[in-house]
Structure 1
Amino acid sequence: MTRKLILLIGLIIVVAIFLKFGRSIYMPVINKIKGNQTVETRIDDIQVDVWDRLENNLNLAGYKMDYPKEVILAAFKEEQILQVYSKDYNGVKLIKEYSFTAFSGELGPKLKEGDKQIPEGIYEVEYLNPNSSFYLSIKVSYPNEFDKSKTELPNFADMGGDIFIHGKSATIGCIPIGDQAIEEVFVLTQKAINNKVKVIISPRDFRTNPEYPNITSIEWEKELYELIEKEIKTLPNNGYNP
C-alpha cells in the first residue's frame, strides 16, 4: 500500500469521525453562514418566557435563581407522557411533565428503519436542533450499544435513526410535545447539556404498572425492561404533575 493511499484512507477516517461526532463544532458555523438560528440565539429568544412559565415549578424543586445543571428526561409510551426531572445533591425531583401531542407505533422497541416505532431504552441527548422542521428538537442517541447488540440486521444504518423529541403534533417514531412544551424542555436540556442529559424511554411507567409487555417479535424484552425499570426506580414516585 502506497504512502499516498494510506494518507487518503486516514483522512477519510478522520473526516468521517468529525462528521459524526463534531456536529456541535461545525453546525453553528453552517447555521451562521445560512442565516439560521444557533442554539444560543434561540435560547436568547425564548428563555425569558420559559423562565416565567417554569419559575414556580423550578422553585418547588429548589431552584430559585437558575436552572438545574443536571436533568433527566423520562418518556412513557403507554401513558404518552414526558417527564423532566432535576438531579442534584438533594436528590431527583420532578420539574414538569408534558403530554405527547401525537403517537406512532405500539409498545415494544424500535427494530428497523421505517417501522414507526418509538425506541425503548436508556439514551442520551446527542444535540439540540434550533432549526427543526418541527420548530425545535432534541436528538436522542438511538441506536445505543444495547440496541446494536440485539439487532439481526446486517448494517446498523438499517436500524433507523433521527429520533427526536420535538414540537408540533406529528410523528413517525419521534416524541412530539407541542411548541410551548418543547421550548421549555429545550431550555432545560441546554442548561444541563454539559453534564450529559439521560433520556429514558419506557413502554410504560413501571412504578405504577410493573408488568412487562409481552413483545412477540423479540426474545430479549425481559432483559431490556429490567434495565429500563432499574433506571425508572431511581426517579421519585410522586405522581403526575399536569
Structure 2
Amino acid sequence: MPVATSFPALMMKSTAKIIVGLAVTGFLTACSGHKPAIPTASAMAVKPQAQTARRIYNIPPLGQRTVEDVLQTYGAYAMSKLKPYFDKAKVSYPPREVTFIALKKEMKLELWARDSGEFRFIRDYRIHAASGVPGPKLRQGDMQVPEGVYRVAGLNPNSNFHLSMKLNYPNEFDLFHAWQEGRTDPGSDIFIHGNAQSIGCLAMGDETIEELFVLAAHVGAENAKVVIAPHDPRTFPLKADIEGLPEWTSELYSRISREIKALSPVPKPVAAAGL
C-alpha cells in the first residue's frame, strides 16, 4: 500500500537529503556563484604526471581538495585541448551555457555550447561505461543510468573516481512519478565521473572527466544541462515499446526528444534555380 505522503513533503524531504549530502562532500562551495579564475594563454598547458602533480602543485590529499586545486592542476591543459574545438565552432571560451547529450545505446556524450547565439556542436566523447538497460531509473540499487533532462548540481574534486560532476537526479519529474507510484526511494547520487566502471553513473575515463570538470567550473555548474537518452532520437524516434516501462515513459521521451532536437539548427530551404 503506498505511503500517504504528499508530493510537496516528498520533495522537501528529498531536497533536504540532497543539500545535506552536498554540504558533506563540499558541493555547496562548488555550486556558489564564484567562478574560478581562467588560466591565461601563457599558462603551462602540459598534462601533469600523476606521480608528480601533488608535489609540483602541492595538491591536498583526497578528501581535502577544492575545485580551485583541480583547476590549478588540470585547468591549463584541459583548456588547451578544448579551445581548438570551440574556435572551430566559432563559440567563445568559456561559453555562456553548455549542454551535454548522453546517448546510452551509442555510448557517446556530445558537447554543445553557446555564447550569445544558438547552440553549436563542439565535440563528442566516448562513454567508457554506463550500467543498466534502456529505460528510466526507478529505485535505489537498480543500477540504471537515469534518462531525462538534468542539471549539474555540483562538482566533486574528491571523487573516488578521479573527479565527478553530480546530477540533480531525482529531479521534479522523477520525484512526482515516484510519489504517484508510491516509490519512496527513487535513488540518488548519480554522477558523471572518471574511471571506467559504472553502477548507475556515466564513466568517462580520467582524461575526459578532467576536461568536462574544468569546463563546468569555468562556465558555472548552474549553466550546464545534461540530457540522457536511451538512444539518439535524431536517428530514429524514442518509443516506450519495451515491456515493463512505466506508462509515463512516453511523456519522458517526448521531453528528451524536444531538448535534443532543439539544439540542431533547422536546415534552411534551398532556393530553386533561377529564383
Scaled to the shorter chain, the TM-score interval is 0.7 to 0.9
Partners in 2 of 1:232 and 1:93 — Cα distance?
A: 12
Aligned to 1:102: 129
Pairwise CA distance, 1:228: 0.6
With over 3 angstroms needed to count, the CA separation of the structure-2 counterparts of 1:72 and 1:27, relative to structure 1, is closer
Identify the residue that residue 75 of structure 1 maps to in structure 2: 102
Partner residue in 1 for 2:88: 60
Contact 2:152 2:221 in 1 (8 A): no
Q: Does 1:206 align with 2:207?
A: no
Q: Which residue in 2 is equivalent to 1:235? A: 263
Superposed displacement of residue 25, structure 1 = 3.5
Q: 1:93 to 1:189 in 2, by over 3 A?
A: same
Q: Following superposition of structure 1 onto structure 2, how do residues 1-242 of structure 1 map, counting pairs within 5 Å? A: 19=20, 23-25=27-29, 36-63=64-91, 66-151=93-178, 152-155=181-184, 158-193=185-220, 195-217=222-244, 218-236=246-264
Q: CA deviation at 1:236?
A: 2.0
CA distance in 2, matches of 1:164, 1:211: 24
Give me the identity figure in percent. 39
Q: How much does 1:97 deviate?
A: 0.9
Structure 2: segments with no counterpart, 5+ residues = 1-12, 33-59, 267-275
Deviations 1:158-208 (A, max 9, x none): 111110000000001100010110111111111122653111011111011
TM-score (normalised: structure 2): 0.72
Gaps of 5+ in 1: 1-12
| Partner Cα distance (1:76, 1:223) in 2 | 18
Partner of residue 8, structure 1: none
Note the aligned Cα RMSD (angstroms). Answer: 2.7
* CA 1:213–1:129: 2 relative to 1, 3 Å: same
